[in-house]
Structure 1
Amino acid sequence: MATNASRPGRVNANAPVRKLSKTALFKKYGVPIITTILVAAAIVVVGVLLKVVLDNYYFFCLKSFKFIPLTKWCDGTEDCSGGQDEMNCVQRFGITTPALFRISENQALLQGNIRLSGTWALVCFSNFNQQKAQAVCSSLGFNSGPTFSSVDVSGLGLNLPFSSVDLAGNQGIQVSSTGSCQTVVSIICQSCGVGGNRERIIGGLSTPITKYPWQCSLQYQGSHVCGGSILSPWWILTAAHCFQGGQLQVPNWRIQAGMASLSLMFANRVEKVYVHSGYSANAKANDIALVKLQAPLALSDSIQPVCLPGFDNVVTLDDRLWVTGWGYTSEGSGVLASTLQEVSLSLIPQDTCSHEYPGQITGGMLCAGRLAGGTDTCQGDSGGPLVDFGDNQRWQQVGIVSFGEGCGRPGKVGVYTNVTDYVPWINGAMKQGS
């Protein structure tokens, strides 16, 4: 018998539907969601802060799963399993084999070391091709597309033997003695030394980066430490003394290029750092280092490599030299220049410089400045380039800012690493790191 009473398990179509209010919906769904988001955000913030604190004070050994003080990272002693704490550190590099090739200052003539005997000979143009040119430049540490041309021997006035270059499969590239030839090889391993300019910089002037597009800033944990110069999209030239004490951890270094103003943005990560194996902070000799980037720089009007000098380059008292950097603009100011500074200097005779710095000046150094004072480099300019405009109509780097007494003092000029003397070391280090 049917009745109006609803039966168990059936929905009464006539029963009223109760709707949750907006407040109830928010309490039921909104509050838990927001709480979850806030908790997750708090965990992320705490994690980031914890990582920052740990990164600033400790190094994490992944294999042995332990923390060690940062002072033990790159200290020369293995504190982590497998020596993890001594990896990704600044390395010392010395040349162990003689150079196979060198390039002259005048007309960029290629010379080969015949069977590594120490006998240098002009390379004949006959049978020289793009593949051999690439092999030659690769042996010098350059991987860009080289260009080469022929030069008539009759106009050179050089009394040198002749050689040929051969690619000998697994034995690599070889240089052999050959008879006389009418034309020899002139080679340029990459385009370089293109700038717009024809004063720690004391007495200097602000300058746009396009005038010195090879200039860059070396930064450690977000702070400018030294200057440097672009040798290729991969390599930066600087001073060895920039990498001292607790600043030997490669991952903490960055390179800023293409900007006249110092910035922490757009800095490039570093893969390797080589310092000269003969460098000594006490003696100050061999103050040179190379930095390799993790990724190549994108060349532009504001990012260009500077040229290396020829092996026979000689800086004269008549040469007009230029040095650039972001260092202090007055001695002891403690304030870096806000924009890139430039100053024009003159070469100081070696005997005069040796008199100013008794027992400190070696053959691998040169001095530049003004004896009257007023213009000089200062703290923060270290590692930066000293350049001149060569006879080949390209800017080339002849010096690296090394040391000096004070900034712009009368009778105390700046001392620079003589780049010409270290071209074989530079080529060897770039080849090693390629």
Structure 2
Amino acid sequence: MRTNTEATLESTRPLNPTPAVAPQKGRHRKPMAASKTPSSKASKRKRALVISVIVILILGVLAIGAYFVKQLIDSKYFFCTSSVTFIPIEKACDGVKDCSRGEDETSCVSHFKANTTFPVRLATAQHVLQVYRSSLGWRSVCSDDWTEQHTQTACTQLGYTYKPRSTSIPVTTLSSSLKVGPFAAVKPGTTATLIHQATVDLSVCKSGSVVSLSCSDCGVVGIQDRIVGGADAYIETWPWQVSLQEAGQHTCGGSLVSPRWVVTAAHCFSGSRKALTHWRVVSGRTYLTLTGGSYVDKIIVNGDYNAASNDYDIALMRLSSPITVGEYQRPVCLPPDAFNLAAGSSMAVTGWGSLHEDGKVSSSLQMAEVPLIDRATCSSSTEYGNMITPRMICAGFPQGGVDACQGDSGGPLVYLTSSKWNLVGVVSWGVGCARKEKPGVYSNVESMLNWIYTVIEKNP
């Protein structure tokens, strides 16, 4: 007889129970909830995309804001790393140590006078090698006993060196001033000695020829093709052109003369523009950009620079690390001594300066062709009178219309010879821009080669 409990259990059992099936590994029961529709998935993706875009925009705005805040701070203050404080920019490089460790007075523009003659140079358009001795002056170096090692040594003394080579030029083909000497020749076994110390004096060259040097690939460009009255230019045509930027603002132009040195104008560093940390050199760009660029570890102004007369208006900047020479970045050649360019010679001036007097700087590199003006004309009473010194040259048209302008200062005036561009002048000053009988005035690079070579040698 079954109990009531047993009867209850039996009544709940199916008559034909289905055998239990053991669950298989990896198989799961499908959820009973309805699957999401395609429209709801697309809506979620759209929301996620919008949120991502908003986040990116916010981050971009914050980054741009932070950049401009930094530029504003840099233009007004100097940061003391030792004490983590700011001081007014006017107090940097003023001769008083305002930072706890004095770093505000250690990273500043310096001044240098060349008191001695740099003893090696290239002369005339033939690039004749000459050495200097105080008792005899300049002497052309004969080809006698000259070797490839001497070529390397001489070019190294002259700065930027890349695949240097030498040729022999017959004395009879030299200019009249060089034909008669005096001459010098290297002593055997002096390949590693500085060239001016390795020579002896001669009255004539036994070989009948002198040494001509080509030290580098400076001034060479792959193609030839606003400045007021100018035209658009491309950096690959003028790869030595750089933008000098102080506190994030284009201030002056400059010219690469080696992978690490830039020639520019002394007046670019007037006023409070003396802290090295605020300067950057941007190279290899056709369009003016205010980001990136090379740091600077030396700015050396010619010690004879006179702000009142603009005389000796030249300076050198040393980059913290050398640029990589290529199609868009390449040094221009320093000119030989006694280049003797004739009045009317066509030259090129480049930069991002104003397109008209008192205008804004150009966003794109500009180029203009200007003729050299003879010194007598530029020094006449109708032009600049006695304001023109031997350290200056003039270029432009009597009627005006084409000229360098504000923002071009420090930039290059170049002349093409033997497929190489030579740095003839540095944009310095003028009355207005492109005015009639008021041409551009440029620092005469040839007259200050001694200073340039001496600075580079003393700051390797």
Q: TM-score, normalised by structure 1?
A: 0.82
Change (3 A) 1:60 1:202: closer
In structure 2, distance between residues paired with 1:203 and 1:56:
32
1:356-377 CA distances to partner (integer Å, 9 max, x unpaired)?
A: 2233111111111111111111
Once the two structures are superposed, the pairs formed by residues 67-106 of structure 1 within 5 Å of their partners are 67-80=86-99, 83-106=102-125
Once the two structures are superposed, the pairs formed by residues 122-133 of structure 1 within 5 Å of their partners are 122-133=140-151
In structure 2, distance between residues paired with 1:77 and 1:197:
50
Aligned 8 A contact 2:131 2:195 in 1: no
Q: Which one of the candidate residues 147, 160, 164 is aligned to 2:181?
A: 160
Q: Which range moves more in the overlay, 288-297 or 83-92?
A: 83-92
Question: 1:94 deviation in Å?
Answer: 1.2
Q: Which one of the candidate residues 281, 293, 312 is aligned to 1:286?
A: 312
In structure 2, distance between residues paired with 1:229 and 1:185:
28
In structure 2, distance between residues paired with 1:369 and 1:172:
40
Greater CA radius of gyration, 1 or 2?
A: 2
Once the two structures are superposed, the pairs formed by residues 1-400 of structure 1 within 5 Å of their partners are 52=70, 57-61=76-80, 67-80=86-99, 83-114=102-133, 116-156=134-174, 158-165=179-186, 167=190, 174=197, 175-178=199-202, 180-182=205-207, 183-195=209-221, 196-197=223-224, 201-333=227-359, 335-354=360-379, 355=381, 356-390=383-417, 392-400=418-426
Question: 1:56 deviation in Å?
Answer: 5.2
1:18-75 CA distances to partner (integer Å, 9 max, x unpaired)?
A: xxxxxxxxxxxxxxxxxxxxxxx9xx99xx89x9486554445456776533211111
Do residues 421 (structure 1) and 442 (structure 2) align? no
Question: 1:117 deviation in Å?
Answer: 3.0
| SS of 2:316 mapped into structure 1 | strand
Aligned 8 A contact 2:409 2:427 in 1: yes
In structure 1, distance between residues paired with 2:355 and 2:153:
45
| SS of 1:408 mapped into structure 2 | coil
In structure 2, distance between residues paired with 1:169 and 1:187:
17
Quote the residue 2:21 is aligned against. Answer: none
| SS of 1:210 mapped into structure 2 | coil
Aligned 8 A contact 1:138 1:431 in 2: no
Question: 1:145 deviation in Å?
Answer: 4.2
Question: 1:395 deviation in Å?
Answer: 1.1
In structure 2, distance between residues paired with 1:173 and 1:84:
39
In structure 2, distance between residues paired with 1:55 and 1:224:
14
Question: 1:418 deviation in Å?
Answer: 1.0
1:83-119 CA distances to partner (integer Å, 9 max, x unpaired)?
A: 43211111111112222111012321101113x4352
In structure 1, distance between residues paired with 2:279 and 2:210:
43
Do residues 410 (structure 1) and 436 (structure 2) align? yes
In structure 2, distance between residues paired with 1:165 and 1:83:
49
1:230-285 CA distances to partner (integer Å, 9 max, x unpaired)?
A: 11111111111111111111121111111110012341111211111000111110
Aligned 8 A contact 2:154 2:195 in 1: no
In structure 2, distance between residues paired with 1:294 and 1:144:
20
| SS of 1:299 mapped into structure 2 | coil
In structure 2, distance between residues paired with 1:408 and 1:350:
18
What amino acid is aligned across from residue 379 of structure 1 in structure 2? Q
Change (3 A) 1:256 1:169: closer
Q: TM-score, normalised by structure 2?
A: 0.77
| SS of 2:385 mapped into structure 1 | coil
In structure 1, distance between residues paired with 2:139 and 2:228:
45
In structure 2, distance between residues paired with 1:297 and 1:137:
20
Change (3 A) 1:109 1:73: same
| SS of 2:389 mapped into structure 1 | coil
Aligned 8 A contact 1:225 1:380 in 2: yes
Change (3 A) 1:349 1:152: closer
CA RMSD after TM alignment: 2.6
Question: 1:293 deviation in Å?
Answer: 0.7
What amino acid is aligned across from residue 102 of structure 1 in structure 2? R
What amino acid is aligned across from residue 368 of structure 2 in structure 1? V
What amino acid is aligned across from residue 331 of structure 2 in structure 1? P
Change (3 A) 1:170 1:86: farther
In structure 1, distance between residues paired with 2:375 and 2:411:
21
Question: 1:169 deviation in Å?
Answer: 7.6
Identity of aligned residues (%): 39
In structure 2, distance between residues paired with 1:418 and 1:217:
21
| SS of 1:68 mapped into structure 2 | strand
Count of residue correspondences: 385
Aligned 8 A contact 1:140 1:428 in 2: no
In structure 1, distance between residues paired with 2:259 and 2:361:
26
